[in-house]
Amino acid sequence: MKPFFLPAFLLLSLSVQAADWPTFRGADRKDISSETGLLKKWPASGPKQVWLNKDVGLGYAGFAVVGDTVYTLGARDVVEYVIAVDAATGKEKWAAEAGALLTNGWGDGPRSSPTVDGDKVYAMGGKGTLVCLNAADGKEIWRTTMDSLGGKVPGWGYCESPLVDGNLVIVTPGGAQGTLAAFDKATGKKVWQSAEWTDPAQYSSIIAVDHNGARQLIQLTMQSVAGVNAADGKLLWKTEFPGKTAVIPTPLFQDGQVFVAAGYGVGCKSFKIKAGNEIEELYASTDMVNHHGGMVLVEGHLYGYSDKAGWTCLDFKTGAVKWAEKKLLGKGAIHSADGMLYLLEEKTGTVVLIEANPKGWEEHGRFTLQPQTTQRNPKGMIWVHPVVSGGKLYLRDQELLFSFDVSGK
């Protein structure tokens, strides 16, 4: 009998599906880790720090974690880099140029998370350069720019994380040539651009869902939320969602229902995509005024920070408020794993573990991130979203990248 070997690329693919965190908010962009057996209560001092890398560059870029590597972006001098770090030791493996430095009054540098697909990494620089690199060594495969697609750099820079879906990598250049654009992920050749939808780019990241017999790409702008066909970029449906200043959170989808939210007093809206892609509004309110910390949907309940009432739990189907808590922790970002919520306060770097419980706030530990950067812009805060992967909690404050053991082992 011949020995049975799996090809290396298949092993990597299986690994990504099993437990890794290949892109912003995870493979399904729901921001819920599939890991189990994690700590349900933290020691008084917080979980054990595994390592600290003090040189991943400036900016607000998040992480992709695949196999034994953490991928992020960071600015060094006047260049933005994609940076690969050993997940076990925190030591840098390689750095590759992503594009010129985005300068901004709230802090310079990149804002997105890389996306890992098989043996490739896709990353968006702050000025809108999209690069494809070898995951193993950072060697460049291809690159393109959002301005070549008619896009204009939004006020706070390009912040979305590229979506890889099938053979395509899809991004949001925005503008008259089309809001969304898809490329052959292997060659970088443009496959389509959504000419029927021409809103300028904002800061949200695309989600992909199977609904009404099609693969739908759902994205949010300052004017609307819409779905396009992943096969050809044709507009399937669109509904108004007027934003103010900046529209940032990633849409949520479950059982044909979409939920979107924005800050600056805008609030939230939820609707059903019915047969024939007809849109039926379910509710709209200011009970979830989510700025940029994101939201998660756990067992029918939506959690996130609302500028109106603080940390808030809503019934997803109806929009009814189940509870709100503002005194115990200030504004920040959220992540979910193993039935728990990981909350990060943006001003202080306080990290809190609570249950994902619609009955109320049940806290199971907290600690404050230390040390904190001395290089952050005075207007900037700790805005990088937490990620749990491989039993580790990853946090970042500018050039400082932390790994904490939350595995429960």
Q: Give every CB contact of residue 61 below 8 A, 6+ residues apart in sequence.
A: 72, 73, 74, 109, 110, 111, 112, 113, 114, 384, 396
Establish whether the linkage from the previous residue to 47 is cis, with ω within 30° of 0: no
The pLDDT assigned to 408 comes to 85
Structure tokens of 285?
Answer: 């309110």
Contact 248, 260 (CB under 8 A): no
The pLDDT assigned to 12 comes to 39
- The residues facing 342 across adjacent strands are 335, 353
Q: What is the pLDDT of residues 331-343, one digit of tens each?
A: 999 999 999 999 9
Q: What is the pLDDT of residues 116-175, one digit of tens each?
A: 999 999 999 999 999 999 999 999 999 999 999 999 999 999 999 999 999 999 999 999
Domains of the chain: 32-405 (2.130.10.10)
Residue 409: band (very low, low, confident or very high) from pLDDT cuts 50, 70, 90: confident
Structure tokens of 403?
Answer: 């790994």
Closest CA to 145 of 162, 127, 122: 127
Q: What is the pLDDT of residues 317-375, one digit of tens each?
A: 999 999 999 999 999 999 999 999 999 999 999 999 999 999 999 999 999 999 999 99
Would you say the C-alpha torsion 121, 399, 311, 38 has a positive or negative sign?
positive
Q: Rounded to whole angstroms, how far apart are CA atoms 59 and 76? A: 10
- The residues facing 193 across adjacent strands are 181
pLDDT(400) > 90: yes
Q: Dump the DSSP string for 207-262.
A: EEEEETTEEEEEEE-SSEEEEEETTT--EEEEEE---SS---PPPEEETTEEEEEE
The H or E element containing residue 12 is: helix 8-18
**Up-side HSE of residue 350: CA atoms within 13 Å toward CB?**
11
For the entire predicted model, the pTM comes to 0.94
Contact 310, 325 (CB under 8 A): yes
Q: Give every CB contact of residue 206 below 8 A, 6+ residues apart in sequence.
A: 160, 163, 170, 171, 172, 180, 217, 218, 219
Radius of gyration (C-alpha) of the chain in whole angstroms: 20
Q: Rounded to whole angstroms, how far apart are CA atoms 209 and 221? A: 18
Q: What is the pLDDT of residues 65-93, one digit of tens each?
A: 999 999 999 999 999 999 999 999 999 99
Q: Quick one: average pLDDT of 261-289? A: 98
